[in-house]
Amino acid sequence: MRVLLITDWNRGRGGAEDYMAGLRQGLVQSGDQVRLLTSSVGTAGDGHADYIAYGTERFAAQAFLQVANPFAIATVRRAVREFRPDVAVVNMFAHHLSPAALLPLSGTPSILLVSDYKCICPLGFKLLPDGNRCNDRPGLVCLRQGCVSFPHWLRDVPRYALLKRNLGVFSRIVACSNWTRDALLGHGIEAEALHYPAPLPPAGFQRTPSPSPRIFFAGRLDREKGADLLLRAFAHWQDRPASAHLRIAGLGPLRASLEDLAVRLGIADRVAFAGWLDQSELEEEYRHASALVVPSLWAETLGLVAVMAVLRGVPVIASEHGGLAEIVEPGVTGLLFPNGDEAALADRLQQLASGTAFPGFRLPEDAVERATGRFNQATHIKALRRIMEEVAESKIHTQSRA
């Protein structure tokens, strides 16, 4: 098949970019002809993009381009004309490509992959300013709740009207988890669930957990990711061993304030801020970590960082509302706690350190094997290709009847 992959490519490559890079590689290995279309923001597909549409992070210009990016519209139209794809697979488009960029796909069999809440939330997190989860549909309520400013809300009125209309170009919508599928359905968007995969550990990977608790966090240093909650729980962990340490990997606007918080809590000497880590450095962290903690305040749509940990035999302590509960089986692959509950997180850390849960900081081998089968990239691509073939075949039948 000729497959056109379309996605934003944000600055600071994250899980979404890793997923699309792996998807491209897997489709090529399956014998498909693949072209990648991205925005110019960030690294534009890490040099692998065949089509690049202009995008910007400048606030004033972005406010307009997020509604209708004429450069993206023209680039998608050109890619469809030149490449003539059998199917288009769209991942992220709301940040830079814009909902208007979907319109040139109206004559092409197309699939939308959904791994965030951007289709149903202007902020993309379904998290209210007071920390509670939002269950409302986007609209005037976003302004009333204080989630967005009046100019932001005013800009989003045409943006979401265009998004709602242009979702009709997709033959199928595929969500990254059952949780995300149900969230979309609650907003009137029908979808099916297909768990996203994560890379397997490299050849020769062996766990050598630190004998003393070594807690690991990896993610953006933003409010919704809950790194401040982890710091407070770590500080207030009453029976914390003297040798326990916390390692925080990632970049984001809250790094300075998180470092200040560690000082105020009196734990700065036990916390290391590692910054952004490449894959080889992450593998070393997983090798020695006692546990990965994913303390997200929002309901994660899935949580690929947790999948990676489980595939490497690392116990995961994670917030329970959201897709993380589809990865973490309590007592088997990790421990769950209510989102935002500092005392409960401290309790889970104590269970781990005391040996009540996961002695030796290891997961059972059979649990890792089951997770490997469930989140295997080859299995995922096989299932996605089946959907792609059905969508393309449906288009052929429609044309033949006409």
CATH of the domain at 292: 3.40.50.2000
Residues 281 and 157 in one domain: no
User: pTM of the entire structure?
Assistant: 0.91
Residues 11 and 145 in one domain: yes
The region of weakest confidence among 46-55, 158-167, 388-397 is 388-397
Cα angle value 354/356/362 (rounded, 5°): 90
Same domain, 224 and 356: yes
The verdict on 234 and 192 lying in the same domain is: no
Indicate the angle between helix axes 304-311 and 279-288, nearest 10 degrees.
60
Crossing angle for the helix pair 15-29 and 377-401, to the nearest 10 degrees: 70
Give the separation between CA 401 and CA 261, rounded to whole angstroms: 65
User: Do 381 and 356 share a structural domain?
Assistant: no
Condensed to tens digits (0 to 9), the pLDDT of residues 68-83 reads 999 999 999 999 999 9
Same domain, yes or no, for 257 and 188? no
Position 54 scores a pLDDT of 92
Does 328 share its domain with 341?
yes
Whether 171 is in a domain gets the answer yes
Shared-domain flag, residues 274 and 347: yes
Range 282-287 contact pairs with CB under 8 angstroms and sequence separation of 24 or more: 282/218, 282/249, 282/308, 283/201, 283/202, 283/205, 283/312, 285/216, 285/218, 285/247, 285/249, 286/201, 286/207, 286/216, 286/312, 286/314, 287/205, 287/206, 287/207, 287/208, 287/312
CB neighbourhood size of 59 (10 A):
7
Q: DSSP characters for 181-239?
A: HHHHHTTT---EE-PPP-PPPPTT------SS-EEEEES--SGGGTHHHHHHHHHT-TT
Which amino acid is present at 391? V
Is the per-residue pLDDT at 401 higher than 70? no
| Minimum mean pLDDT range among 9-23, 121-135, 208-222, 312-326 | 9-23
What residues contact 380, with CB distance under 8 A and at least 6 apart?
A: 26, 194, 195, 196, 197
* Separation CA 14–CA 305 (nearest Å): 10
Q: Is 60 exceeded by the pLDDT of residue 196? A: yes
Q: Which two tokens stand for residue 1?
A: 């098949």
206 within some domain? no
Buried b (16+ CB within 10 A) or exposed e, 86-107: bbbbbbbbbbbbbbbbbbbbee
Q: Would the pLDDT of 176 be above 70?
A: yes
pLDDT in tens, 333-379: 999 999 999 999 999 999 999 999 999 999 999 999 999 999 999 99
Q: Is 62 helix (H, G, I), strand (E, B) or coil?
A: helix
What pLDDT is attached to residue 269? 96
Residues 56, 99 within the same domain: yes
Domain count, the chain: 2
Residues 174, 82: one domain?
A: yes
Q: What is the pLDDT of residue 32?
A: 96
Q: Half-sphere exposure (CA, 13 Å, Cβ side) for 16?
A: 21
Considering the domain architecture, whether residues 159 and 69 belong to the same structural domain is answered as yes
Computed on alpha carbons and rounded to an integer, the radius of gyration of the chain in Å comes to 22
| pLDDT for 201 | 94
- pLDDT score recorded for residue 402: 43
- For residue 280, give both structure tokens: 């080889």
Confidence grade of residue 44 (pLDDT, cut at 50, 70, 90)? low
Average pLDDT over residues 37-61: 82
Asked if the model's pLDDT at residue 15 lies above 80, the reply is: no
**Does 17 map to a domain?**
yes
CA angle 152, 157, 158 (to 5 degrees): 115
**20 assigned to some structural domain:** yes
Strands 214-218 and 192-193: unpaired
Residue 322 lies inside a defined structural domain of this protein: yes
Does the structure show a pLDDT above 70 at 91? yes
Which pLDDT score, from 0 to 100, does residue 55 have? Answer: 87
Write the DSSP symbol of residue 100. G
Instruction: Output the six-digit token pair for 327.
Output: 């990865």
Its domain, for residue 226, covers 214-374
Q: Examine residue 209 and state whether it is found in any structural domain, yes or no.
A: no
**146 and 255 assigned to the same domain:** no
pLDDT computed for residue 84 by the predictor: 97
Residue 256 inside a domain? The answer is: yes
* Domain-embedded: residue 205: no
